[in-house]
Amino acid sequence: MAQAAAPGYVTVSTASFTPGSTCDGPDPVSLMRKDTSAVLRLTHRHGPCAPSRTSSLEAPSVADMLRADQRRAEYILRRVSGSSGQQQQVGGSKAAAAAAVPANWGYNIGTLNYVVTVSLGTPGVTQTLEMDTGSDLSWVQCKPCAAASCYNQKDPLFDATQSSTYAAVPCGGAACAGLGFYGAGCGTGATAAQCGYVISYGDGSNTTGVYSSDTLTLTPEDAVADFFFGCGHAQSGLFTGIDGLLGLGRRDLSLVEQTVAAYGGVFSYCLPTTPATTGYLTLGRPGGAPPSGFSTTQLLSTPNAPSFYIVMLTGISVGGQQLNVPKSVFAAGTVVDSGTVITRLPPTAYAALRTAFRSAMASYGYPTAPPTGILDTCYNFTGYGSATLPTVALTFSGDLTVTLGADGILSFGCLAFAPTGGDGGMSILGNVQQRSFEVRIDASSVGFKPNSC
What pLDDT is attached to residue 21?
65
pLDDT at 53 over 60: no
What pLDDT is attached to residue 306?
86
Max CA pair span of the chain? 71
pLDDT at 92 over 60: no
Q: What angle (nearest 5°) sits at the alpha carbon of residue 235, between those of residues 229 and 238? A: 105
As a whole number of angstroms, the distance between CA 332 and CA 217 comes to: 38
What pLDDT is attached to residue 109?
31
- 303: confidence class by pLDDT, cuts 50, 70, 90: confident
As a whole number of angstroms, the distance between CA 9 and CA 386 comes to: 13
- Nearest CA to 151 among 139, 136, 167? 139
- 36: confidence class by pLDDT, cuts 50, 70, 90: low
For the segment 229-236, the average pLDDT, to the nearest whole number, is 92
139 within 8 A of 245, measured Cβ to Cβ: yes
- 19: confidence class by pLDDT, cuts 50, 70, 90: low
- Nearest CA to 410 among 372, 452, 448? 372
pLDDT at 88 over 60: no
> Regarding predicted confidence, which is higher, 27 or 448?
448
Q: Which of 73-82, 94-103, 384-393 has the highest mean pLDDT?
A: 384-393
What pLDDT is attached to residue 55?
43
What pLDDT is attached to residue 128?
92
pLDDT at 86 over 60: no
pLDDT at 45 over 90: no
Ordered structural domains, the chain, with CATH: 31-288 (2.40.70.10), 295-449 (2.40.70.10)
pLDDT at 100 over 60: no
- 32: confidence class by pLDDT, cuts 50, 70, 90: low
What pLDDT is attached to residue 263?
93
For the segment 54-71, the average pLDDT, to the nearest whole number, is 70
* Averaged pLDDT of the chain: 84
- 33: confidence class by pLDDT, cuts 50, 70, 90: low
* Active-site annotation, residues: 132, 337
- 42: confidence class by pLDDT, cuts 50, 70, 90: confident
pLDDT at 244 over 50: yes
- 212: confidence class by pLDDT, cuts 50, 70, 90: very high
As a whole number of angstroms, the distance between CA 364 and CA 9 comes to: 11
- 293: confidence class by pLDDT, cuts 50, 70, 90: confident
What pLDDT is attached to residue 254?
96
Q: Is the dihedral of CA 231, 252, 36, 116 positive or negative?
A: positive
pLDDT at 47 over 60: yes
Share above pLDDT 70 across residues of the chain, in percent, rounded to a whole number: 83
Query: pLDDT tens for residues 154-195?
Result: 788 999 999 999 999 999 889 999 998 889 888 666 667 899
What pLDDT is attached to residue 202?
67
Query: pLDDT tens for residues 318-331?
Result: 999 999 999 999 99
What pLDDT is attached to residue 110?
35
pLDDT at 103 over 90: no
What pLDDT is attached to residue 96?
39
For the segment 301-308, the average pLDDT, to the nearest whole number, is 83
Query: pLDDT tens for residues 412-436?
Result: 899 999 999 888 889 999 999 999 9
What pLDDT is attached to residue 63?
81
> Regarding predicted confidence, which is higher, 339 or 187?
339
By CB atoms closer than 10 A (0-12, 13-18, 19+), residue 188 is: exposed
Q: Distances in Å between the alpha carbon of 350 and those of 125, 218, 260, 312, 415?
A: 45, 40, 38, 16, 11
80: Cβ contacts below 8 Å, ≥ 6 apart: 302, 304, 305, 308, 310, 332, 333, 335, 426
